[in-house]
Amino acid sequence: MEGFLFSYVAGKSILHGLDPRVKIFSVMCLSILIFRSSALVDLLVFALLFVGLTILAGSGLSGIRSVRPLLPIFVFIFLIHSFFTEGAALFNSQFSPTYEGLLKGSLVTVRFILLILYGSLLTSTTRPAVITAGIERILRPLPLRRVGVTSFEMATMMSLALYFVPHLLWYAGQIKDSQLSRGSKYRRDPISGTLSLAIPVLKGSMRMADDVAMAMESRCYQGNFRTSLFELKMTARDVLVCSIVLGVTALVLYA
Amino acid sequence: MIELKGVSYSYPNGHKVLDNIDIRIEKGSFTTILGDNGSGKSTLIRHMNGLLKPSHGVVSVCGVDTASPTDIWKIRQTVGMVFQDPHSQAVGATVEEDVAFGPENLALESDEIRLLVTNAIANVGLECLEDSLLMSLSGGQLQKTAIAGVLAMVPEILIFDEVTSMLDSDSRSQIIDIVRQLNKRGKTVVYVTHHMEEALFADRVIVLENGSIASDGTPRDVFREIYASGRKVPPHLELAFRLQDAGMISPDVFPVDALSLKEEICPSR
Ligand SMILES: Nc1ncnc2c1ncn2[C@@H]1O[C@H](COP(=O)(O)OP(=O)(O)O)[C@@H](O)[C@H]1O
Ligand SMILES: [Mg+2]
């Protein structure tokens, strides 16, 4: 399971041991700070912090490496900004990147990369089920019942998605392969190609949803109160980390 | 344990699938329900844990009526059900998370859940995979996970709905071994299949045809009946019946597979 984007890497580091709620909260604070910083130098601080935390997590380079599939997106964001920002042209041609664009492009791209990296640090040090349990506990005090769901249902939805999204992708791949092998013109006409793929995938996923709902019901799923294999307990260390993060964030934002 | 009395069922679209079914499943027994696709096997067993309620008649589990809404969760915990498609029963990202789903619904404490999960996973022989992502498992391993998920709720009765039909032959025989082991250790088993070969080691075979019980008895009697009516039975069984009719082997012999027939004809030392 190592190497996939946002996958969990088992370990026993301090970061692995922190309560998921603390980690989720910290990533949220860091995201706010990263979005607010408008100088590359500030972002360097976050990059260094990331390197430090990665060493602490002991997950090595796998977190950074797993971000590689997103490289085209990073390049795309960078290029869009460098070409389409108003400013002094770099070359003497009609279509040229601008100085301002290069600056803004690198700023936006680095921010984005940092967000992804911190996100993957969270997921690589926290089991999916523990993240789900954490989110459940964060949502529990909210008046979700008024909109007709419970925090437990939200959490179950998330853990179902963790299996079903990759499974549906696999399933779509299977259907596409079988269509191609029967000589479909999938590649020639993108619109009808997409439709002829989407319809069976949609049908299949409805059938699967029906089946899963039945399996869940026979395993006594009721949507209201349930417990978790992974019990969450805030320790003194969790409280300490939480207050440091909160303190630093407040200081940076309001000082 | 489970009792169906005069059960008929029509789907909401009016399609009548079950017609006046009477079945009693005894504690500790191993019952196979055999029938062609569309004969109503799934519809029948879904009555046994209250997923479906009969249009007519009564279904009770350990004396409790499945139509009573307050006892339904107790019934579903007593009667565990494993389904056909290994890919559409997964409810967690990893094996242990998936197996924990049932006990979590019963709102048990996390150390209690841990114990049940570890036990259930050991029962199906997936000890070294408990942390694996379900996405990375084979169909057979997924089906074992599904069985563990049901075992973790410590049910007394286990129902298997064509659980091997989407698996390769190796995983298939592994799953059948697990089912037989569970029955030997005291679980009541209802095993649904459309493969005659998988019906041979049961204590009792119920043949379902177009929503009615066509025959019900020991495998020997039921397969004799099928053979006598001129329909196909597994080849080694046909051979055994012919040899019996010719008086060459004892009429008491009922070989569960070709190997045990061979042992009967020429025992190896
Ligand atoms: N949800 C449903 N609505 C209407 N008809 C159904 C439904 N599910 C199954 N059936 C019909 O009921 C019959 C028996 O189905 P089923 O119990 O699944 O048979 P089996 O499991 O033996 O293959 C089939 O003819 C099938 O088309
Ligand atoms: Mg069926």
**pLDDT at residue number A2:** 43
Domain co-membership, B79 together with B174: yes
Interfacial A residues in 168-227 facing B (CB < 8 Å): 170-171, 207-208, 211-212, 214-222, 225-227
Q: How many domains does chain A have?
A: 1
Q: Report CA(B195)–ligand 1 centroid distance (Å).
A: 18
- Shared-domain flag, residues B96 and B216: yes
User: Mean pLDDT throughout B165-187?
Assistant: 94
Beta-bridged to residue B207, according to DSSP, are: B34, B215
pLDDT at A170 over 60: yes
On whether the CB atoms of residues A212 and B89 are closer than 8 A, the answer is yes
pLDDT in the model for residue A184 = 67
Does B226 lie in the same domain as B186? yes
Determine the distance in angstroms separating the CA of B14 from the nearest CA of chain A, rounded to an integer: 20
To test the contact with chain B by mutation, choose from A170, A219, A225, A228 the residue with the greatest count of B C-beta atoms within 10 A, namely A219
Is the pLDDT at A228 greater than 80? The verdict is: yes
In the predicted structure, residue B47 carries a pLDDT above the cut 70: yes
User: Using CB atoms, which residue from A162, A166, A229 is nearest to B96?
Assistant: A229
Residue A1: per-residue pLDDT: 40
Establish whether this prediction's ipTM goes over 0.95: no
Average pLDDT, chain B: 93
- pLDDT-derived band at A187 (thresholds 50, 70, 90) equals low
Range of the domain at B157: 2-233
Measured in whole angstroms, how far is the alpha carbon of residue B149 from the centre of its chain?
A: 15
B45 C-alpha to ligand 2 centroid (Å): 9
pLDDT digits (tens, 9 = 90+) for B191-209: 999 999 999 989 999 999 9
Q: What is the pLDDT of residue B258?
A: 87
pLDDT tens column, A110-151: 999 999 999 989 988 998 889 988 998 998 888 888 888 888
Walk across the sheet containing B16-25 and list its strands: B16-25, B2-10, B56-61, B64-65
Q: What pLDDT, on the 0 to 100 scale, is given for residue A5?
A: 66
Q: What is the DSSP string of A38-61?
A: -SHHHHHHHHHHHHHHHHHHT-TT
Residue type, B221: D
Which of A162, A157, A136 lies closest to A228 in space, CA to CA? A136
* Residue B32 CA from chain centroid, whole number: 7
Q: Which of residues 228-247 of A touch B (CB under 8 A)?
A: 228-231
Burial class from Cβ neighbours inside 10 Å (0-12, 13-18, 19+) for residue B33 reads: buried
pLDDT, average across residues A28-47: 90
Which residues of B are less than 8 Å from A159 in CB distance? 91-93, 97
Which pLDDT tens digit goes with each residue over B245-260?
998 888 888 888 888 8
Mean pLDDT across the stretch A202-230?
90
Q: Say whether pLDDT at A179 is over 50.
A: yes
Q: Considering CB atoms only, which of A10, A207, A229 is closest to B110? A: A229
Report the pLDDT value the prediction gives residue A115, as an integer from 0 to 100.
92
Angle in degrees, CA A163, A212, A5, rounded to 5: 5
Per the prediction, chain A carries an average pLDDT of 86
Q: What is the pLDDT of residue A196?
A: 80
Judged by DSSP in three states, B7 sits in: strand
Percent above pLDDT 90 for chain B: 80
The Cα B157–Cα B187 span in angstroms is: 6
Give the integer Cα–Cα distance in Å for B194 and B34: 5
Torsion region of A242: left, alpha or beta (phi above 0 gives left; psi -120 to 50 gives alpha): alpha
Rounded-to-integer distance, Cα A208 and Cα A202, Å: 10
Say yes or no: B152 and B257 in one domain: no
Provide residues with CB under 6 Å of ligand 1.
B 11, 13, 15, 17, 35, 37-43
More confident residue, B195 or A6: B195
A242 has a pLDDT exceeding 90: yes
**Is the pLDDT assigned to residue B112 strictly greater than 90?**
yes
Domain range for A102 is 14-254
Statement: residue B126 has pLDDT above 90: yes
> If you measure from the C-alpha of residue A70 to the centroid of ligand 1, how many angstroms do you get, rounded to a whole number?
45
The predicted structure's pLDDT at residue A185: 60
A164 pLDDT higher than 50 = yes
Our count of domains for chain B comes to 2
Q: Specify whether B145 is located in the same domain as B245.
A: no
Q: Which residues contact A88 (CB under 8 A, 6 or more apart)?
A: A98, A99, A100
Residue A34 inside a domain? The answer is yes
If you ran DSSP here, which 8-state letter would residue B252 be given? T
CB pair distance less than 8 Å for A215 and B136 = no
Residues B204 and B242 in one domain: no
Q: What is the pLDDT of residue B103?
A: 96
CA-based nearest residue in chain B for residue A160 = B91
Give the residue from B124, B136, B128, B138 showing the smallest Cα distance to B176: B124
Contact between B76 and A230 using a beta-carbon 8 Å cutoff = no
Q: What CATH code is carried by the domain that includes residue B16?
A: 3.40.50.300
- Residues B215 and B252 occupy one common structural domain: no
Chain B residues near residue A214 by CB distance under 8 angstroms? 46, 51, 83
Same domain, B182 and B140: yes
List, in order, residues 6 or more apart from B62 with CB less than 8 Å away: B1, B78, B156
Partners of B109 on chain A (C-beta within 8 Å) are 227, 231
How does DSSP classify residue B26?
P
Q: Write out the two tokens for A29.
A: 């604070």
Confidence of residue B62 (pLDDT cuts 50, 70, 90): very high
Inspect the interface and report whether the beta carbons of A227 and B113 lie closer than 8 Å: yes
* Contact list, A7 vs chain B (CB under 8 Å): 133
Size of chain B in residues: 269
Regarding whether B238 and B228 lie in a shared domain, the answer is no
Ligand nearest the Cα atom of residue B40:
1
Give the pLDDT band (50/70/90) at residue B269.
Answer: low
Q: Is pTM, for the whole model, over 0.80? A: yes
Give B111's contacts in chain A (Cβ within 8 Å).
231
| Residue A221 identity | Y
The answer to whether the CB of A108 falls within 8 A of the CB of A77 is yes
Tell whether B134 and B95 lie within a shared domain: yes
Q: How far apart are CA B6 and CA B103, in angstroms?
A: 34
Whole-angstrom distance, CA of residue A33 vs CA of residue A243: 16
Of A12-21, A98-107, A156-165, B188-197, minimum mean pLDDT range:
A156-165
Q: How far is the CA of B176 from the centre of ligand 2 (A)?
A: 18
Contact of B64 with B71, CB cutoff 8 Å:
yes
Higher pLDDT, B190 or A183: B190
Dihedral-angle region of residue A31 (phi above 0 means left; psi in -120 to 50 means alpha; beta otherwise): alpha
Residue with the larger pLDDT of the pair A86 and A94: A86
Q: Is residue A138 part of a domain?
A: yes
